[in-house]
Amino acid sequence: MKAQILDGKKVAEEVRAAIKKEVDEIKSKGGHIPGLAVVLVGENPASKVYVGQKEKKCKEVGFNSFLHKLPVSTTEGELLKLIETLNNDKAVDGILVQLPLPQQIDSDKVLKTIDPSKDVDGFHPMNMGYLVTGLPAVHPCTPKGIMYLLDAYGIEIEGKHAVVVGRSNIVGKPIAHLLLDRNATVTICHSRTKDLGAITRQADIIVAAVGRPRMITGSMVKEGAVVVDVGINRLEEGLVGDVDFKTVGDVASWITPVPGGVGPLTIAMLLKNTLEAGRKSER
């Protein structure tokens, strides 16, 4: 193992500490305390864990946290009505609706109903459109976290060839545009790309976000590449990423672990987006 670790857990702790310091200063001056509303519909076990983590981190940095737990039988109309209420609530700066939603609810319709200025997940079509066109926008948390992590370790992006493996609206597409905005040359691949290894071997930076355990192996990575593993796959042996950590670690210069890499920064960037939304609401 020669690759150095991109420690997302450590960087996320630093981000939260900086946010807490700013919130403490806001409180001391009697200013507006950022508020995050999280909506959980149903009893999905993974969703309940994620929501619990987000609520805990909110309280750690001093945010106001508003948790709305709704039964699995909640109708689309009832959920949309709640979102409209949160849109108009001045104490709420960020709204996060935990996905997936029950089948009777149209997720796209729900995400479109959130006020774009309170869309701290960065999934609203308006924010996605602004991101693609290079205008100021709320960036999705995981891609924003990846960029923050690369910057924290001084990884050069400009002029580098970045290969993104995955084309989801949550990670693949937005991270490709963020890298492009920083003057990387970007190639987007996916699960149906032919001879994927021939393309990834050209990459200076690889972002793996396709959702297949250990899909990227050492033979697919060129010497000295930076490898960011976004995958979280639950196997009997535990959590593993989309990257074969052992073989890729033998050839890469930098690599993110799973867990402890990108994951902690996703929640840290959610807090950062909420803080930034709170700043705007004070203007």
Positions of E strands within the chain: 4-5, 35-41, 64-70, 94-97, 161-165, 185-189, 205-208, 226-229, 233-235, 238-240, 254-255
- Cα angle: 130, vertex 230, 203; to 5 degrees: 85
Q: Is 56 a catalytic residue?
A: no
Tell me how far apart the alpha carbons of residues 124 and 203 are, in angstroms, rounded to a whole number.
30
Nearest alpha-carbon partner for 184 in 209, 163, 154? 163
Q: Is 98 a catalytic residue?
A: yes
Residues facing residue 68 across a β-bridge = 39
Q: Which of 57, 93, 98, 173 is catalytic?
A: 98
Q: Is 121 a catalytic residue?
A: yes
Q: Other C-beta atoms within 10 Å of 265: how many?
A: 26
- For tokens 């084309």, the residue is 167
Q: Which of 121, 204, 229, 244 is catalytic?
A: 121
Q: Which of 54, 57, 173, 272 is catalytic?
A: 54
The catalytic site residues sit at 54, 98, 121
